[in-house]
């Protein structure tokens, strides 16, 4: 059906003017209501209170959060692969149990985070589709290979260590469900960091060959770990808005510095050398100075050309396809349960019970 012009319906010019006036008043009322909502949102952010799923929020805030939390969730899930590679080859039962627990934790982190995106109206199946089609990103770090068992230790130490630096401030992020998920995730990340460091301490007190393995793994992971904080602040156009919304609490460079300051004494205690000739304590700044990561490599990895990008995505895609029967079975079971519940509600006894509960018997 096509819409009719009011003049076609024989409405007088005066009536048309009245209608336009009314419309204008409605627009004005809408604008006032919107301004009030925006002010309330700004006040909540300024007071450092949390925005909750039922609260009004600007569309751009919602979109930014969905993108960031989805990217975070994808990273947890893809991040299971590099270490999962070593579960079947862990050198002892103890190491295997630790590694299994850690990789399972990462799956849990992914699930909390997908659940957080759902409170914003996102659809998990849609996000998974975007990941496996390469339309949404995950952390660049998981596109590097794990070549020896020392990599398991170095990932725990450096990668989970960097993740902690990134994630602790997110426990105070402005969106409630994200902040609460991060509190639990950070507790588990701290176990991940410790198990990695403990493994490395053990290897460093082992044979010469084990010490060499630790050093070699450190050499390979150090720079990619520094890249985990994202590009330098000057090349990070979204940072200012995310900081204003208090989604982000520190800039990429601030977090990177914090990580370096935290890690250098740990490397010294461990007895490994960090592969950066420019790394030295700067007494004036009260921080370590350090060299510049290879940002061209970072861009290449983000563009899909890292050493393991294709392998990681292909593996994730295969796991998703292989899991189709589980999703179908779970949906069929849920539908059956719902149908049974509905049928039970229709029996005379259930109907009577319902009436009694409602006080209308
Ligand atoms: Fe995690
Ligand atoms: Fe972790």
Q: DSSP secondary-structure letter at 217? A: H
Q: Average per-residue pLDDT in the chain?
A: 92
Q: What is the pLDDT of residues 220-251, one digit of tens each?
A: 999 999 999 999 999 988 888 898 899 988 99
Ligand 2 center to residue 349 CA distance, Å?
52
Give strand ranges (E) for 181-312: 280-282, 287-289
| Average pLDDT over every residue of 129-134 | 96
* Cα 111 to ligand 2 centroid, rounded to whole Å: 13
Cα 32 to ligand 1 centre (Å): 43
pLDDT at 22: 75
Distance 26 CA to ligand 2 centre (A): 52
Residues in CB range of 246: below 8 A, 6 or more apart: 45, 48, 172, 173, 174
Instruction: Supply the pLDDT for residue 24.
Output: 75
Cβ atoms of 288 and 261 within 8 Å: the answer is yes
pLDDT, position 349 = 73
Q: Determine the 3-state secondary structure of 118 from DSSP.
A: helix
Q: Distance between CA atoms of 100 and 87, rounded to whole angstroms? A: 7
pLDDT tens per residue, range 286-345? 999 999 999 999 999 999 999 999 999 999 999 999 999 999 999 999 999 999 999 988
**pLDDT at position 328:** 96
Q: Check pLDDT > 70 for residue 164.
A: yes
Burial of 40-57, coded b for 16+ CB within 10 Å and e otherwise, reads ebeebbeeeebbeeeeeb
Cα 197 to averaged position of ligand 1 atoms, centre (Å): 16
pLDDT digits (tens, 9 = 90+) for 31-88: 898 999 999 999 999 999 999 999 999 999 999 999 999 999 999 999 999 999 999 9
129 alpha carbon – ligand 1 mean position (Å)? 21
Task: Please report which ligand is nearest the Cα atom of 75.
Answer: 1
Spatial neighbors of 128 by CB under 8 A, at least 6 apart, are 320
The Cα 181–Cα 193 span in angstroms is 18
Mean pLDDT of 281-290: 98
Confirm if 57 and 126 have CB atoms less than 8 A apart.
Answer: no
CA of 24 to the centre of ligand 1 (A): 52
Percent of the chain with pLDDT over 90: 83
CA of 66 to the centre of ligand 1 (A): 18
Residue 209: helix, strand or coil by DSSP?
A: helix
């Amino acid at each position: 059906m096509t819409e009719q012009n009011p003049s076609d319906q024989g409405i007088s010019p005066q009536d048309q003017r009245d209608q336009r006036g009314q419309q204008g008043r409605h627009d004005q009322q809408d604008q006032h209501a919107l301004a009030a909502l925006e002010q309330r949102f700004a006040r909540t952010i300024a007071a450092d209170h949390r925005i909750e799923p039922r609260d009004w929020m600007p569309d751009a805030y919602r979109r930014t959060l969905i993108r960031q939390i989805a990217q975070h969730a994808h990273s947890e899930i893809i991040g299971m692969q590099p270490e999962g590679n070593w579960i079947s080859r862990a050198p002892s039962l103890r190491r295997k149990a630790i590694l299994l627990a850690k990789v399972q934790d990462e799956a849990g982190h992914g699930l909390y985070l997908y659940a957080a995106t759902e409170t914003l109206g996102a659809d998990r199946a849609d996000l998974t589709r975007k990941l496996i089609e390469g339309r949404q990103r995950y952390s660049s770090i998981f596109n590097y290979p794990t070549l020896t068992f020392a990599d398991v230790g170095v990932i725990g130490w450096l990668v989970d260590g960097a993740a902690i630096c990134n994630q602790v401030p997110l426990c105070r992020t402005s969106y409630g469900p994200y902040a609460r998920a991060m509190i639990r995730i950070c507790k588990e990340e701290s176990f991940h960091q410790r198990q990695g460091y403990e493994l490395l301490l053990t290897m460093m007190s082992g044979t010469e060959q084990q010490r060499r393995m630790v050093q070699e793994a450190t050499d390979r992971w150090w720079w990619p770990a520094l890249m985990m904080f994202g590009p330098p602040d000057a090349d990070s156009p979204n940072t200012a808005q995310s900081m204003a919304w208090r989604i982000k609490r520190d800039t990429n460079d601030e977090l990177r510095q914090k990580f370096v300051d935290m890690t250098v004494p740990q490397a010294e205690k461990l007895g490994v050398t960090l592969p950066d000739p420019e790394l030295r304590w700067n007494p004036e700044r009260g921080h370590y100075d350090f060299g510049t990561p290879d940002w061209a490599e970072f861009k290449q990895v983000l563009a899909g050309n890292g050493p393991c990008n294709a392998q990681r995505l292909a593996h994730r895609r295969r796991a998703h396809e292989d899991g189709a029967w589980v999703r179908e079975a779970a949906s069929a079971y849920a539908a059956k349960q719902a149908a049974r519940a509905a049928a039970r509600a229709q029996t005379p006894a259930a109907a009577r019970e319902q009436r009694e509960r409602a006080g209308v018997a």
